[in-house]
Chain A
């Protein structure tokens, strides 16, 4: 697959502050890449560099095999959607969609065709004569996507486009963006801090921290085999449980518990590891009830707290002096103070070196 966007050794500094450092990224044609990270990790900055809205300090950016490092944003073949929609408030929806095209001196018929196409795809035809102030948040964001769409470009950049919407709309528009991607097959680069958005939309996710990419991989990889403790902690809600202990003779020891590690897929080719480590277990990978009998490691705990969320029930307890959360079915009848039997499958757990925090 040919690469649509290539970022080579990208550096960005503001004075003495290094925001992006030696960053490399290749995004294939038609790929949906999500840049995910907490605020201040440099994900929006990276997107602005790709768009050409920020001048880079070093390195190169190629879009469609063209070096665009110093090209104007409008010449890069990109369309961009912003968190605050950034519509032109004094123009109608139609004016918003056509302003850039008119400015580029496109023929009138061509402009009309493009607006028609975009408004059909996004279902905003009835809104064309309205001004942004008369639209709801979801409609505004659709118009903003339309403005990128009419530019007829290969690469779409989204800068936290759904963050200003309420939860339900966010979920709806998320699905629509995914559908749009299936339909258009464009390259999309999408910045978000919402891991659900990232997991549901992405072909690949790049987890960023401190101006660097921690892990780049499919949502499955990132969820199942996080490369370090930060990624493991960041992805998944409720977050992963961590127990600090030792790896010894193919088992993990924490306090007076010994968790056998048969079936764990070590990152090291020798298939084993020794020394101080942290084991990470996702709350949804802990089994309860009758299934416990089939797991290689079992333990009985006392329930400290229950958080019912409807579909699931989160149970707080303590394992070997560590805070531990378990996700149970929403229908399960449990109460505080009760004893609960838990079962763990080490094949689904993650082990991290205590010092480097890298996956073992």
Chain B
């Protein structure tokens, strides 16, 4: 029997030592880098960071720039549509695959495969598919429907939806697999009970099964939303932000400012705005989700 409680700092020593590199990385790179970026967003940095304070000038310029406003609007459209559609499509696919079908493994692999591709490949492939000269439009016209027009990437009003199609194609598989894992975790007896109760399948999904899958939904939501906010490579590969500035997104604006326009201050201000937006969404949610003293399941 130990007379004194052992020092808590030295318990599980090896585990703590193993965690040090990641702790250091997190502190210096993520936290440090973030603070540094926010600080320099108040300076007049150009090609190189310089501590020449200009107050909120960079932010005023940012919100007066049309390209930034278009970027925000595009992200909102893309994000909202992506979020809703990727969940609907992913869940429906998962529910269909969960019907004890044949060749489940094959179908699951086929649907998940796009996720294994990089966004650059996806963007390029969908750029070709949506190209009116040798993509879908050309094929349908070849069948005899001469007036058929489908060229989202060449119409500034709907170009962002062309990107959305590619994003959905790539992202649905992952959501499906996560949802499928959630569905498989549901006790079969619950299904049986709902059948004895005479509840139609769609109602059982909406009122019983989906509420039971809340943890899976939360995890998927986090993965999908982070994917949306950082969308960059898909745009670069598929449209390059065009036509004009029709498919610009905030991450691309940041990159362009920092490494193309040699305007670090402006880039830092834009990325700080992105951080603030994400924080405004995540922090209240995190407080709601994890803040309560008790965990309910």
Contact = CB atoms under 8 A, between A and B. Distances in A.
Q: Do A and B come from one complex?
A: yes
Interface of A: 48, 51-53, 72-75, 78-80, 82-91, 99-100, 103-104, 133, 147-148, 151, 159
Q: Which 5 A-B pairs have the closest CB atoms?
A: A74-B198, A100-B197, A90-B211, A86-B189, A86-B193
Given A90-B208, A99-B207, A103-B203, A74 B189 contact: no
Contact of A99 (B192, B197, B296): B197
Interface residues of B, number: 20
A48 B189 CA distance: 11
Given A84-B189, A91-B208, A99-B199, 19 more contacts: A73-B192, A73-B196, A74-B195, A75-B198, A82-B189, A86-B190, A86-B192, A88-B193, A88-B208, A88-B212, A89-B211, A89-B297, A90-B212, A99-B197, A99-B207, A100-B196, A103-B198, A151-B196, A159-B189
B193 A72 contact: no
20 contacts: A51-B192, A52-B195, A53-B192, A73-B195, A73-B198, A74-B197, A82-B189, A82-B193, A85-B189, A86-B192, A86-B193, A88-B193, A89-B297, A90-B211, A90-B212, A90-B214, A91-B208, A103-B203, A147-B197, A151-B197
Interface in B251-297: 296-297
B187 interface: yes
Contacts of A100: 196-199
A51 B196 contact: yes
Interface string B189-221: 110111111111001000110011010000000
Contacts of A83: 189
A103 B190 CA distance: 16
Contacts of A51: 192, 196
Contacts of B203: 103
Contacts of A82: 189, 192-193
A90 B190 CA distance: 12
A104 B297 CA distance: 29
Contacts of A85: 189
A100 B211 CA distance: 17
Contacts of A148: 196
B196 A74 contact: yes
B198 A104 contact: yes
A190 B62 CA distance: 72
Contacts of A159: 189
A91 B209 CA distance: 11
* Residue of B196, B203, B208, B296 most packed against chain A (CB within 10 A): B196
A33 to B, nearest CB: 19
A89 B186 CA distance: 11
Contacts of A104: 198
Given A86-B187, A90-B211, A133-B296, A103 B192 contact: no
A103 B199 contact: yes
Contacts of B208: 88, 90-91
B190 to A, nearest CB: 5
Contacts of A147: 193, 197
Contacts of B296: 133
A84 B195 contact: no
B209 to A, nearest CB: 9
A68 to B, nearest CB: 13
Contacts of A88: 190, 193-194, 207-208, 211-212
Contact of A103 (B187, B197, B297): B197
Nearest to A133: B297
Contacts of B197: 74, 99-100, 103, 147, 151
A78 B189 contact: no
A78 B196 contact: yes
Contacts of B194: 88
Contacts of B214: 90
A261 B189 CA distance: 51
A100 B196 CA distance: 9
A206 to B, nearest CB: 22
Nearest to B210: A90
Contacts of B195: 52-53, 72-74
Given A80-B192, A133-B297, A72 B207 contact: no
Nearest to B208: A88
B196 A79 contact: yes
Contacts of B192: 48, 51, 53, 73, 80, 82, 86
B216 to A, nearest CB: 14
A130 to B, nearest CB: 12
A67 B245 CA distance: 69
A75 B203 CA distance: 17
Nearest to A131: B296
Contacts of B189: 82-86, 159
Contact of B193 (A48, A52, A80, A90): A80
B196 A80 contact: yes
A73 B199 CA distance: 10
Nearest to A88: B208
Contact of A84 (B187, B198, B199, B297): B187
Contacts of A80: 192-193, 196
A78 B195 CA distance: 11
B192 to A, nearest CB: 5
Nearest to B212: A89
Contacts of A99: 197, 199, 207
Centre residue among A91, A99, A159 by max chain B CB count within 10 A = A99
